[in-house]
Amino acid sequence: MTSASAAALNLDGYTDLPPGKIATIVTYLEMRKPPVLPSLRPPEGWSLQRIDHDRARYRSLFRIVGEPWLWFSRAMMPDDRLAAILDDPKVEAYALHDGTGDVGLLELDFRTDDEVELAFLGLVPGFIGKGAGRFLMNEAIRRAFARPTQRFFVHTCTLDSPSAIAFYMRSGFTPYRRAIEVADDPRLFGFLPREAAPHIPLLVPQT
Ligand SMILES: CC(C)(COP(=O)(O)OP(=O)(O)OC[C@H]1O[C@@H](n2cnc3c(N)ncnc32)[C@H](O)[C@@H]1OP(=O)(O)O)[C@@H](O)C(=O)NCCC(=O)NCCS
């Protein structure tokens, strides 16, 4: 993989990236008290199932949910580092199961006192836009504020679904910070298939 580049970030214009790199704009959002949640009855047969300790199931669900959006963090993470996170009792990973299979991923991180991070929330393709996101979000908010939480926060980036920010703001989150993230394109290193995330086209480095 390419090492850190010396290219300076232009804070008033464009910055060319070295070959093999992707860049995203990250938006951080937070809520400091829970909104009034509409009661939502999940369809018959749906359940949230803890999957922290089933690494194969977690990795498979993460891949199916995240591949269309180029989610690379956990896809590139070695097993021992992933285990160190998921084995922590203050991290909770859930699969949304519709009675036949896993259709959504929710991960909550309680490792910092008084704060909860919505680490991952996503649905498998085919379940987006049908109410499952609202169900997962309500469950996330309920669990986050069931403890003495001062702040529930999340970040989303321009690789993610374009509807994610509006969905988070409708859910009660307020945006408060923006960052640029530059990373190796995971498709060039075999962590994700080259066809993943066509909305971020793969630039094949010239030799
Ligand atoms: C972000 C994400 C989870 C949002 O989920 P979603 O499926 O778009 O959201 P929903 O369909 O549940 O909610 C959208 C709206 O449609 C409504 N809706 C649509 N069809 C519905 C149905 N059949 N029954 C009930 N509500 C329905 C929901 O109630 C909701 O309305 P509201 O926000 O006013 O309450 C989803 O877009 C996703 O997984 N994206 C890919 C991964 C990603 O980008 N994740 C975020 C990264 S941080």
- Whether 179 contacts 162, CB under 8 Å: no
- Residue 47 Cβ inside 6 Å of ligand 1? The answer reads no
Atom of ligand 1 nearest to the CA of 104: 39
Cα–Cα distances (Å) from 98 to 48, 64, 118, 123, in that order, read 9, 15, 21, 12
- Residue 60 Cβ inside 6 Å of ligand 1? The answer reads no
Going from the Cα of 163 to the center of ligand 1, the distance in angstroms, rounded, reads 8
For the whole prediction, is pTM greater than 0.85? yes
Atom of ligand 1 nearest to the CA of 134: 12
β-strand partners of 207: none
Going from the Cα of 122 to the center of ligand 1, the distance in angstroms, rounded, reads 9
| Structure tokens given for 86 | 């998921």
Q: What is the pLDDT of residues 115-146, one digit of tens each?
A: 999 999 999 999 999 889 999 999 999 999 99
- Residue 165 Cβ inside 6 Å of ligand 1? The answer reads no
Q: What is the pLDDT of residues 53-72, one digit of tens each?
A: 999 999 999 999 999 999 99
Atom of ligand 1 nearest to the CA of 128: 7
The residue written with tokens 């909550």 in the block is 108
Predicted confidence at residue 40, as pLDDT, reads 76
- Residue 17 Cβ inside 6 Å of ligand 1? The answer reads no
- Whether 55 contacts 86, CB under 8 Å: yes
Query: What domains appear along the chain, each with residue ranges and CATH number?
Result: 40-189 (3.40.630.30)
Going from the Cα of 137 to the center of ligand 1, the distance in angstroms, rounded, reads 9
- Residue 123 Cβ inside 6 Å of ligand 1? The answer reads yes
Q: In this predicted model, which residue has the larger pLDDT, 207 or 42?
A: 42
- The number of CA neighbours under 13 Å toward the Cβ of 12 is 0
Going from the Cα of 128 to the center of ligand 1, the distance in angstroms, rounded, reads 6
Q: What is the pLDDT of residues 81-108, one digit of tens each?
A: 999 999 999 999 999 999 999 999 999 9
Best substitution site from 128, 152, 156 to test ligand 1's pocket, by max atoms within 8 Å of Cβ?
Answer: 128
| Structure tokens given for 201 | 């086209």
- Whether 122 contacts 104, CB under 8 Å: yes
Taking all residues of the chain, what is their mean pLDDT, rounded to a whole number? 94
| Structure tokens given for 15 | 């910055």
- Residue 37 Cβ inside 6 Å of ligand 1? The answer reads no
- Whether 173 contacts 154, CB under 8 Å: yes
